[in-house]
Amino acid sequence: MPDFAALREEMVERQLKRRGIAERALLDAFRAVPRELFVPEAARHAAYDDSPLPIEAGQTVSQPYIAALMIEAAGIGRDDSVLEIGAGSGYAAAVLGRVAGRVVAVERHGELAALARARMEALGYSNVRIVEGDGSGGLPDEAPFAAILVAASGSHVPEALLEQLGLGGVLVMPVGERDAVQRLVKVTRTGEEDYEEEDLGPVRFVPLIGREGWGDGEGAAEALPERLRAAAEPLPELDDPAFAEAFDRFADARVVLLGEASHGTSEFYRARAEISKRLIERHGFTIVAVEADWPDAASVDRHVRHRARRDGEETAFQRFPTWMWRNAEVDAFVGWLRRHNEGRGREAMTGFYGLDLYNLSGSIRAVIDFLEAADPEAAKLARKRYACLAPWSRDPAAYGRHALSEGYGRCEAGAVQMLRDLLQRRMDCLAEECDEWLDAAANARLVRNAEQYYRVMYQGAAESWNLRDTHMFETLCQLLDAKGPASKAIVWAHNSHIGNAAHTEMGQVREELNVGQLAKERFGDAARLIGFGTHGGTVAAADDWDAPMEVKLVRPSLAGSYERLCHETGIARFLLDLRPGALDPALEEALLEPRLERFIGVIYRPETERWSHYAEAVLPNQFDAWAWFDETRAVTPLPGGPPAGAEEETYPFGL
């Protein structure tokens, strides 16, 4: 059982105080209200995460910081009467009940109102009343209020609410379009008809539905699948040449990023393979960069580019999750790539590279092996510098815990200096030595960034995520720079890495960036982001980290999600071009409304799917295109050893 009191205190310190929430009574209120009792039981262990959480009726409860920001901005006193519009689970109302004299919270969903009312009674908040109904027009019979907090966005602040403020009263509400980031505004009543407005910054809220807010849009929702069906381009079977040909429109980009909605779905791997083959054969792409660790991918690269296997080199992809890259679908593509490269000049071969930073021990060994051949004295220095990390190389998370307790990263200086020294040795990348230098430099960068990653992973999810994706993007850029200005790359990674995070809950709520966002910022339209989605079927995944792989049933997509909308078209496979001007304006406007999108990684927990695998996104801004596969199946993991007919001494997946 989690120590909720400790988590609550940590939330107050890290999420509220560090972001500037200073009102003591308010901080004490957040310390006192048990947020775990205001979310469904399956989500309680995440109750104090720095993010919104799903609640009943398909709604969400705001992250604690946003609730605190709104309450502090309202300047509520102990004797004040407060109106909240959008009670949700009742969490914010409970916090308000500890700083205000009287709280009335209106909720339009009957299920939520009943649950919130029961929670108030159980916890003894006698000064908080939950009312079911349309709150967009306020409660004029109970006005005036010293403060009105609106937990839903409107195109403007309703006049009816302003009229219910007492003189000097404050209203806090998100204002903006439904399909865009809104602004949190603070309106203070300074006279009978005078108001002052202050902008508190960007936020994203669900729309305010009601007579003074947005309409419910039910008629438009019913027509949306039909409009999407008309815009979707049906795709043939994956082995039909016309499948990959449909993606030629993106071949003028320098970087094409191909996503996946899970790490264990066969159709996603096979589709990326077919698209990549065409981009390589017809359009001059020579880099395939994947969401895998550099040392493991380097083994595959030596195989596909007919380079000698290194002495003592480990078999690729032996650590959890082995099925993510050791599967029949990747094996088939690796075999094709080796055949494609056979007989070609070095500069015309296509390489296979890893972008991720987890294989710390493999990277340390690779740097030292390179220097043993290039400069034995420098190899001795590398051993000395990396000796600090050696005890932790097999369990780097333990180094992060140790560094946190010490208060500093005692292995950082050596890792940084080793990278600097290697970068100063830059070799002629038109010569064969470039491959070895590039490999060593990438491994040195991995060691430097992994050291930092394992330190910050205990300080916050956003910091560690951002460091990891920045590392992946820097590695991609290093590859492009090394291969010259005409080089072109294909990236295989999860949708969460290649879709532009600035247009998802990741960036707008959790302050996370990703490879797709960084690629768009650097390359603009020369980077094309293609997401993949599915409605149902099976997937290879585990229940937890380091747990056994299972073939799991994928639950049918949730109502209100982009996946359910795609399923309702009735098309088995299609491509949706999302670039500006490609869609009918009415369809584009409808798709710009934020919706849920499913993300399954190597872990899949169907029983908690809504909160653990869905996040809000704006699809046309997140991707340049969307490839849909309505029914999918799990990847086929490889058994131990190389497949029949492979050369055991060179094959990267051999034992």
pLDDT of residue 293: 85
Q: In this structure, are residues 356 and 442 in contact, taking their beta carbons and an 8 Å threshold?
A: no
Tell which residue, 94, 90, 119, 121, has the closest CA to residue 107.
90
Collect all residues with Cβ–Cβ distance below 8 Å to 213 and sequence separation of at least 6: 136, 152, 154, 158, 207
Q: Are residues 133 and 236 in the same domain?
A: no
Tens of pLDDT, residue by residue over 382-395, are 666 556 545 544 55
Q: Average pLDDT of the chain?
A: 85
For residue 48, being part of any structural domain is answered with no
For residue 379, being part of any structural domain is answered with no
Q: Are residues 190 and 228 in the same domain?
A: no
Q: Are residues 177 and 231 in the same domain?
A: no
DSSP E strand boundaries for 45-127: 53-54, 60-61, 81-85, 102-107
Q: How many other CB atoms sit within 10 Å of the CB of residue 651?
A: 23
Q: In this structure, are residues 371 and 341 in contact, taking their beta carbons and an 8 Å threshold?
A: no
Dihedral in degrees, nearest 10, Cα atoms 28, 30, 34, 37? 160
pLDDT of residue 310: 72
What is d(CA 35, CA 43) in angstroms, rounded to the nearest whole number? 11
Q: Are residues 167 and 235 in the same domain?
A: no
Q: How many residues belong to the chain?
A: 655
CATH number at residue 107: 3.40.50.150
Q: Are residues 159 and 236 in the same domain?
A: no
- Listed range (18-22, 224-228, 429-433, 474-478) with the worst mean pLDDT: 429-433
Q: Are residues 128 and 230 in the same domain?
A: no
pLDDT of residue 41: 86
Last residue of a domain, one of 203, 232, 265: 203
pLDDT of residue 404: 45
**Which value, in Å, is the radius of gyration of the alpha carbons in the chain?**
27
- Mean pLDDT within 103-117: 95
Tens of pLDDT, residue by residue over 487-544, are 999 999 999 999 999 999 889 888 899 999 999 999 999 999 999 999 999 999 999 8
Question: Nearest 5°: phi and psi at 199?
Answer: -90, 120
More confident residue, 177 or 55: 55
For residue 516, being part of any structural domain is answered with yes
Question: Binning pLDDT at 50, 70 and 90, where does residue 243 land?
Answer: very high
For residue 419, being part of any structural domain is answered with no
Report strand pairing: 165-175 vs 255-258.
unpaired
Q: In this structure, are residues 135 and 173 in contact, taking their beta carbons and an 8 Å threshold?
A: no
Tens of pLDDT, residue by residue over 2-39, are 899 999 999 999 999 999 999 999 999 999 999 999 99
pLDDT of residue 257: 98
- Listed range (86-90, 309-313, 448-452, 478-482) with the worst mean pLDDT: 448-452
Tens of pLDDT, residue by residue over 318-376, are 878 999 999 999 999 999 999 999 999 988 999 999 998 766 555 566 556 666 666 67
- Mean pLDDT within 95-112: 96
Find the angle CA(250)-CA(570)-CA(257) to the nearest 5 degrees: 20
For residue 227, being part of any structural domain is answered with yes
- Element at 433 (helix H, strand E): helix 433-456
For residue 277, being part of any structural domain is answered with no
What is d(CA 507, CA 518) in angstroms, rounded to the nearest whole number? 12
Question: Binning pLDDT at 50, 70 and 90, where does residue 447 land?
Answer: low
> What is the tally of structural domains in the chain?
2
CATH number at residue 508: 3.40.1660.10
- Element at 66 (helix H, strand E): helix 64-74
Question: Binning pLDDT at 50, 70 and 90, where does residue 546 land?
Answer: confident
Q: Please report where in the chains the tokens 């403007």 appear, as a residue.
A: 156
Tens of pLDDT, residue by residue over 415-424, are 556 556 655 6
Q: Which of 62, 262, 299, 361 is catalytic?
A: 62
Residue 412 pLDDT > 60: no
Find the angle CA(300)-CA(397)-CA(496) to the nearest 5 degrees: 60
Tens of pLDDT, residue by residue over 184-237, are 999 999 999 899 999 999 988 888 888 888 765 444 455 788 899 999 999 999
What is d(CA 112, CA 40) in angstroms, rounded to the nearest whole number? 11
Q: Are residues 114 and 183 in the same domain?
A: yes
- For a pLDDT cut of 90, what percent of the chain falls above it? 60
Tens of pLDDT, residue by residue over 607-654, are 888 878 998 999 999 999 999 999 999 999 998 654 444 444 444 544
Q: Are residues 523 and 609 in the same domain?
A: yes
Cα 193 to the center of its chain, rounded Å: 45
For residue 266, being part of any structural domain is answered with no
Residue 559 pLDDT > 90: no
pLDDT of residue 218: 46
pLDDT of residue 300: 94
Report strand pairing: 550-554 vs 527-541.
antiparallel
Tell which residue, 234, 295, 285, 236, has the closest CA to residue 257.
285
Tens of pLDDT, residue by residue over 560-608, are 899 999 999 999 999 999 999 999 998 999 999 899 999 999 999 988 8
Partner residues linked to 184 by β-bridges: 174
pLDDT of residue 346: 86
pLDDT of residue 424: 61
- Is 155 one of the catalytic residues? no
Q: Are residues 136 and 227 in the same domain?
A: no
Tens of pLDDT, residue by residue over 253-271, are 999 999 999 999 999 999 9
Residue 408 pLDDT > 50: no
Question: Nearest 5°: phi and psi at 571?
Answer: -95, 130
Residue 102 pLDDT > 90: yes
Q: Are residues 87 and 165 in the same domain?
A: yes
Q: Are residues 542 and 630 in the same domain?
A: yes
Tell which residue, 618, 594, 501, has the closest CA to residue 60.
594
Q: What is the 3-state secondary structure (H, E, C) of 578-610?
A: CCCCCCCHHHHHHHCCCEEEECCCCECCHHHHH
> Domain span at residue 113?
57-203
Q: Are residues 227 and 143 in the same domain?
A: no
Residue 433 pLDDT > 70: no
pLDDT of residue 74: 97
The 3-state DSSP class for residue 416 equals helix
Residue 290 pLDDT > 50: yes
For residue 426, being part of any structural domain is answered with no
